[in-house]
Chains A and B, each alone.
Chain A
Amino acid sequence: MTGPIARAMPKSVLKYASLSAVALIVAYPFYFMVSNSFKDLFEATTVPPTLFPSVFHPENYVKAWEAAPWARYFANTAFVAITTTLGEVVTAVLAAYAFARLEFRGRTVLFGVFLATLMIPSEATLIPNYIMMSKRGLGGFGLGWYDTYQVQIVPFLASVFSIFLLRQFFLSIPRELSDAARIDGAGHLRFLWSIVLPLSVPSLVTVSLFSFIGSWNSLLWPLIMTSVPEYRPVQLGLSAFRQEAGNSYHLLLAAATFTIAPIVLLYLVAQRHLIQGVARSGMKG
């Protein structure tokens, strides 16, 4: 940064220029996707790509939507993601409360075991789960859950990450509150419901968002555990459509646009909670 130009420029200009250059690279693929999804095939395959569609073809979206059972895919994903999120938040709240507020033997060990499960890579547990979910299972005890919703929901009803995050927050609630509640004769559930939960709404939102987005974007698990469109999620729908669409890239990009739209909208509305949550997870303790 010693050239005459750099010296003449105020520092902030340089700062904005670099940040905007990075922003441009980050944003371009999204822009490219949306803009090409409105072009006809000929224009979509023009090199270099045109910045705007010369003629808008919103009917691409209709064509893409009709080319695959998207309504079913979306319904599947929405059902799985919402159920998983609700269930996971409930179990996480209960567990986090126990870890943060109750004294019991084995608390430290159990928490350690929970954290240790984060170290187990999912590849290692995939095959046993695959066997367990089959009808035959292991030694005759199989769940027979291939091509169901529960196979996509139940194993994800416990999230150590959520428990960890909520526990951190519950620990910060002053002891005096629980003492006061106890004196008033409130039990654990009552205290949890009417005092702890209202105070933790931001944390609950964060945890739910992570869970929802994770569930919405999951790929490998449903790929292995399901095989029919009746139970398959949007991600697999898009993956299959990619093969079927062949070279109809404009339709493929339209499909990509509508599969990520719900998450992007959700993110834009709630990004503050999400980013705060990420920032907090980076701070140990």
Chain B
Amino acid sequence: MTVQVRAEGPSRRNARRRRRIGEHLWAYGLLAPVIVILGVFKIFPAFYAFYISLFRWDIIQGAFRGLGNYGDILYENPTRAEAFWRSLSTTFTYGLFTVPLEMGLALVVAFLLFGKLRGRGVYRTLYYLPYVTSTVAAAVIFNWLFHPQYGIANAILGLVGVGPQKWYDEPRGLFELAASAAGVALPDWAAGPSLALVGICAFSIWHYFGYQVIIFLAGLGNISNEYYEAARLDGASERQVFRLITLPLLSPTTFFVFTIATIGVLREFNAFYILTNGGPLDTTRTTGLLVFKTFYQQGQLGLGSAVAFLLALAILAFTLTQQRVLASRVTYE
């Protein structure tokens, strides 16, 4: 072989060069469709969104406003600013109530499902089923389960002596309602998420937790058995094994699920659109819905783009912070 390489003449080098050029042509040829489509419908629009956000743009392009739209949304225009900050707070409240419950449930279920278990496949199939059903159909069902008059949710509440609720039509806060039932009046800031938002949280948990169960199961399967054997040899109790082995070694998976779940929560649109469309009294208008309202229902494309851009920034900032803070606590095998 070495002899051949040393004897490599100009023609052979040319042949190799030709082959390398050929390989490049092939590669970019194969990638061309994807590059074009992502470029036109995803990457270019991302930049173009920023451009739009710099203009007054009511259906058609108007005057250049610089960062004026952003100013309006953040502080200058009281109505817009109030709507924006409120939507952001609604979005984060929604996440705060959904993600931990969803992940906790998924983790416990995955842990129970893991290992030898009859009917494991059946459970797994069932838990994942809501995730593949469309939000519209699922929301139709939930609207009915939580119906103020005919819903089973109120029937169950009745069993424990709680009066009927309006659920997706109820703007009052969860804590406010609980306190007023006990005869205590709470200040506004302590009212908690509206009952409508709580209903959407319940829907989201039902809809998404199966996806997380599958990922947690895969993560559990990735932990080598040696750790468990070693721990048992050392006489560790089951609880110790869970706390000292399973949880730390599962942390990369937990981290992944957390990232996916938060991004999902920040972007959720369908459930809100179908279940409440922002109401009652705007208590479920997340930032995603505010974008939709501003641009599609009010025809304010410039302002809508600015809100969308801020939402994108919030998602990005949140993801990066999360990577920074949490990544250092993740234990890799």
Contact = CB atoms under 8 A, between A and B. Distances in A.
B26 interface: yes
Interface stretch (B9-17, B193-201, B216-224): B216-224
B31 A235 contact: no
B42 A117 contact: yes
Interface in B210-228: 210-211, 214-215, 217-219, 221-222
B253 interface: yes
A130 B301 CA distance: 10
Contacts of B138: 29, 260
A37 to B, nearest CB: 10
B37 A157 contact: yes
Contacts of A235: 134, 136
A256 B24 CA distance: 50
B141 A29 contact: yes
Which bracket fits the contact residues of B?
35 or more
Given A94-B31, A124-B309, A114 B38 contact: yes
Contact of A127 (B30, B43, B52): B52
Interface stretch (A14-22, A53-61, A171-179, A194-202): A14-22
B145 A32 contact: yes
Interface in B273-308: 273-274, 288, 291-292, 295-296, 301, 304-305, 308
Interface residues of A, number: 86
Nearest to A238: B136
B159 to A, nearest CB: 9
A125 B45 contact: yes
Given A260-B137, A282-B219, A91 B34 contact: yes
B133 A155 contact: no
B296 A224 contact: yes
Contacts of A98: 26-28, 30-31
A138 B48 contact: yes
Contacts of B112: 15, 18-19
Interface stretch (B65-73, B96-104, B119-127, B168-176): B119-127
Nearest to B269: A220
B23 interface: yes
Interface of A: 15, 18-19, 22-23, 25-27, 29-30, 32-33, 36, 45-49, 91-92, 94-95, 97-99, 102-105, 107, 110, 113-114, 117, 119-132, 136, 138, 154-155, 157-158, 160, 163, 188, 213, 216-217, 219-220, 224, 235, 238-239, 242, 249, 252-253, 256, 259-260, 263-264, 267-268, 271, 274-275, 278-280, 282-284
